[in-house]
Structure 1
Amino acid sequence: MTAFFALVRKDLILYLGDKRALLINLMLPIVLAAFFGSLFGGSGDSKTGKIDVGLVLQDSSPVGVKIADGLKADATLRIIELPLEEAQARVRSGKLTVAVVIPQGFGDAAGKALFSAGNKPEIPVFYDPSQSTTLAMVKGMLTQQVMQIVSAEMFGGDTGAKFMDTSLLELEQETAKGKGNPELRDMLASVRKFQKTEQAKPAQDGADGAKAKPGLSMPFATKDEALSSGPKYNGYAHSFAGMSVQFILFMGVDMGIGILLARRMGIWSRLLAAPVSLTTVLLARAISAAVIASGLLVAIFLCAMLIFKVQIANPLGFVGVGLCFALMTAGFGLLIAAFGKTPEAARGIAVFATLIMVMLGGAWVPSFVFPAWMQLLTIAIPTRWAVDGFDAVTWRGLGMEGALGPMAVQLAFAAVFAGLAIWKFRRDQ
């Protein structure tokens, strides 16, 4: 056991003496996690950025102007009025996500379309093809404004009154010819009577007449409430989990490459010539890597807690998931050393494999945004269980039942990786 602990101590001293490796494995995950965490909503206290929307207002009617004013008043939009050509150019160059055009005559045409099944006026919407999600959001807000303003104008505005008078006259003429629609005529007559009543109110109510004219509005409002078993959602928690997994795995890759370099320089042969078994040397290497991985993990999450207010809701679960991930990383490093023929070839393959594992494991973006088939595929990826485990014991606030599954799967992968590595080393000895 003295030789075992001496080997572990040697690896720790060598690693801590390499300041550049320590800086890369400690500082880069913190910097990248802070960046990605801010994209995922940060600590939840900061307001989300507004969506820049270009507006081409070609309709000077009351309806067109009111639609523009309604969009400008929306707290989630930043409206930029532009000429048509400039709006299109900005969308093409990626400087604007969406541009909306209110065409000439839209107000009158939309009012007529509200009561008929004829041709409906179109609102041209130009958008960046990479921002289809933003397009859906803007179209929803545009629909709300158009419905409220057009219906208000038709039920209580001057445009609606003129439209009703004209339509009723046409319907009366068609009815006289036996071609009219008496039901539509009766409905419009009732609406015109309602308009006259509303128009008479300002003279009767004085100052109260300035109140908003009636119109159709959204028949509901959502009451949003975020639910989780743990503390308040913090986007940094997932980012720190993902970046920790990525860079600690790279540390495991470096550990494996280090064995290949030692083999090339003859150090490995001299080490095996000492009175220690191959298994002892490999296990000592794995334990030292697991200790380094655990230390990096603690340092990274300590920074997350102190600076970015990340909370660990289940400390015991966090320790368990962290230790199992550290052992899995150590096994991964041994596997690279066992099957790598040269340091150069092994490094390229190991970095590629690590990036694939990190990507599919949900370290960059949460795995729930993946297609269903890909989510099923990632069950066989150890990093998916590591990231899900860290999410479970931090912002999700799950108990040990949320940590035991990821711990068991990672231990299984660690055993498989280490077992294959020891088998290969013994075979090649």
Structure 2
Amino acid sequence: MTALIALIRKDLQLYLRDKRALMMHLLMPVVLAAFFGSLFGGGPEASTSKVEVGLVVLDQSEVGKQIAAGLQADSALKVSLLDEAAAQAQVRKGKLPVAVVIPAGFGQSAADALFSGIDKPSLTVYYDPSQSTMLAMVKGLLTQQVMQASSAAAFSFKDSSVTSKQLAQVASSDLAADDKAQLSDFLGSLKKYQDQRAATAQKQQAEGKADAQADKKPAGMSVPFSTRDEALSSGPRYNGYAHSFAGMGVQFILFMGIDMGISILLARRSGIWNRLMAAPVTLTTVLLGRGLSGALIALGLMCALFACAMLIFKVTISTLAGFLILAISFALMTAAFGLLIAAFGKTPEAARGMAVFATMIMVMLGGAWVPSFIFPEWMQQVTLAIPTRWAVDGFDAVTWRGLGLDAVLPPVAVLLGFALVFAVLAIGKFRREAQQ
């Protein structure tokens, strides 16, 4: 036991003296986690960012102005008024995801086609092909504003010319006789109402009486509902930094495991390993000392990373016991992974290249860079065979999801299982080589 403790203490002292390793394994994940966390929504107090949209208004009609004003007033959009050439240039350069052009005469044409569907005008929408999700959102908001403004013009009793045009279009259309008759009756009733209201307004104006309703603009059709958005989780409000610190922590601590394995290969090459084997300690003791020291370093790094997350980025941990158990399990898996690299690596250079590649694949498929729930369904099932998936999901569970100790037990069991398999394979390989 004294020899084992001495080996562990020696490895810890060597690691702490290596400033490059400390920077690589502690500072870099903090910086990258802060960057990715801001992309995932930031802290719980962060507000939703607006979509930047370029708007070209060539239609100076009342309807066109109402559409433009509605888009500018929308809380989800940040609208910039531009000319068409500038809007195209901004989208082409990637400075704007979407630009909308309201052509001349659009408002009147949209109101004319509201019921008949004949000669529908079109809006030109320029968009960055890498921002197709923004395009769908802007088109939805644009539909709302066009419907509201064009229907307001169609139902206005101050001007029944739109309804007259619609009646003429329906009469000359190729609609079924029953549909044409019903639509003509509806539009005829609407025109009769508009004419009566217009006549009443003129009469009151001639008599010097004010009509309170005459000065009001018709509201037009609007979306007949609103949503009450309420984020639900078992714990605190969602914090994008929680997931990013879990992902970056898993990634860079695995890099530390690679370094641990490569250091054994370097010790073999330099002859230090043979001298260590000649000492009065068993092979198992040496491997346990190297593995446990690596696990302690991994555990310390993970705790330090999340301490930064809690102090700087307001990440909360719902169950400290669950977090520690999970961190210990992941640390043991990382140490066993490092021993596996040392056992099966031929040279330090070849082993590092293969280990880094394997680690990047595990990190990517494990959901460390982006949450695994956005993966295709088949990929989500495949990644259950990867230890990093369980580690990231476990850290998510005890941070922003706010789940209890029972939520980390499955990830802990899987990580310990991988640690056991890796350790058995590595120790078996070392023993076979020692016997040769």
TM-score, normalised to structure 2, is 0.93
Find out whether 1:30 has 2:30 as its counterpart: yes
Q: 2:404 aligns with which of 392, 395, 399?
A: 399
Paired with 1:219 and 1:197, the residues of 2 have a C-alpha distance of 28
Identity, in percent, stands at 63
Q: Which moved more, 1:82-91 or 1:71-80?
A: 82-91
Which residue of the partner structure matches residue 311 of structure 1? Answer: 316
Which residue of the partner structure matches residue 19 of structure 1? Answer: 19
Which residue of the partner structure matches residue 263 of structure 1? Answer: 268
Whichever residue aligns with residue 29 of structure 2, its letter is: P
Where do 1:44-55 residues align within 5 Å?
A: 44-55=44-55
* C-alpha contact 2:116 2:170 (8 A) present in aligned 1: no
Q: Which moved more, 1:203-212 or 1:75-84?
A: 203-212
* C-alpha contact 2:153 2:162 (8 A) present in aligned 1: no
Paired with 1:124 and 1:196, the residues of 2 have a C-alpha distance of 35
Paired with 2:61 and 2:243, the residues of 1 have a C-alpha distance of 49
Which residue of the partner structure matches residue 146 of structure 1? Answer: 146
Whichever residue aligns with residue 190 of structure 1, its letter is: S
* C-alpha contact 2:322 2:404 (8 A) present in aligned 1: yes
Q: 1:332-352 CA distances to partner (integer Å, 9 max, x unpaired)?
A: 101111111111111111111
- CA distance 1:156–1:292, shift in 2 (3 Å): same
Which residue of the partner structure matches residue 341 of structure 1? Answer: 346
Find out whether 1:326 has 2:331 as its counterpart: yes
Q: How big is the shift at 1:223? A: 0.8
Find out whether 1:371 has 2:376 as its counterpart: yes
Which residue of the partner structure matches residue 126 of structure 1? Answer: 126
* C-alpha contact 1:59 1:106 (8 A) present in aligned 2: yes
Q: Which moved more, 1:186-195 or 1:131-140?
A: 186-195
Whichever residue aligns with residue 27 of structure 1, its letter is: L
Q: Name the SS for the 1:395 alignment partner.
A: coil
Which residue of the partner structure matches residue 416 of structure 1? Answer: 421
Q: 1:311-346 CA distances to partner (integer Å, 9 max, x unpaired)?
A: 100111111111100001001101111111111111
Whichever residue aligns with residue 321 of structure 1, its letter is: L
Paired with 1:245 and 1:210, the residues of 2 have a C-alpha distance of 65
**Unpaired segments of 5 or more residues in structure 2?**
none
Q: How big is the shift at 1:148? A: 1.0
Where do 1:8-407 residues align within 5 Å?
A: 8-156=8-156, 158=158, 161-168=160-167, 181-196=180-195, 209-407=214-412
* C-alpha contact 1:155 1:214 (8 A) present in aligned 2: no
* C-alpha contact 1:54 1:80 (8 A) present in aligned 2: yes
Whichever residue aligns with residue 129 of structure 1, its letter is: P
- CA distance 1:198–1:416, shift in 2 (3 Å): farther
Paired with 2:125 and 2:379, the residues of 1 have a C-alpha distance of 33
- CA distance 1:257–1:144, shift in 2 (3 Å): same
* C-alpha contact 1:168 1:185 (8 A) present in aligned 2: yes
Q: 1:235-264 CA distances to partner (integer Å, 9 max, x unpaired)?
A: 111111111101111110100011011111
Whichever residue aligns with residue 195 of structure 1, its letter is: Q
Whichever residue aligns with residue 427 of structure 1, its letter is: R
Aligned residues: 425
Whichever residue aligns with residue 110 of structure 1, its letter is: A
Q: 1:283-325 CA distances to partner (integer Å, 9 max, x unpaired)?
A: 1111000000111111111111111111100111111111100
* C-alpha contact 2:257 2:337 (8 A) present in aligned 1: yes
Whichever residue aligns with residue 261 of structure 1, its letter is: L
Q: Name the SS for the 1:302 alignment partner.
A: helix
Q: 1:109-146 CA distances to partner (integer Å, 9 max, x unpaired)?
A: 21122111323211111111111111111111111111
Paired with 2:193 and 2:31, the residues of 1 have a C-alpha distance of 63
Q: 1:169-221 CA distances to partner (integer Å, 9 max, x unpaired)?
A: 677899xxx99943222211221234346655796665665444131110111
- CA distance 1:297–1:186, shift in 2 (3 Å): same
Paired with 2:351 and 2:147, the residues of 1 have a C-alpha distance of 62
* C-alpha contact 1:171 1:180 (8 A) present in aligned 2: no
Paired with 1:67 and 1:274, the residues of 2 have a C-alpha distance of 84
Q: Which moved more, 1:21-30 or 1:118-127?
A: 118-127
* C-alpha contact 1:156 1:214 (8 A) present in aligned 2: no
**Unpaired segments of 5 or more residues in structure 1?**
none
Q: Which moved more, 1:53-62 or 1:413-422?
A: 53-62
Q: How big is the shift at 1:35? A: 1.1
RMSD, aligned CA: 2.2
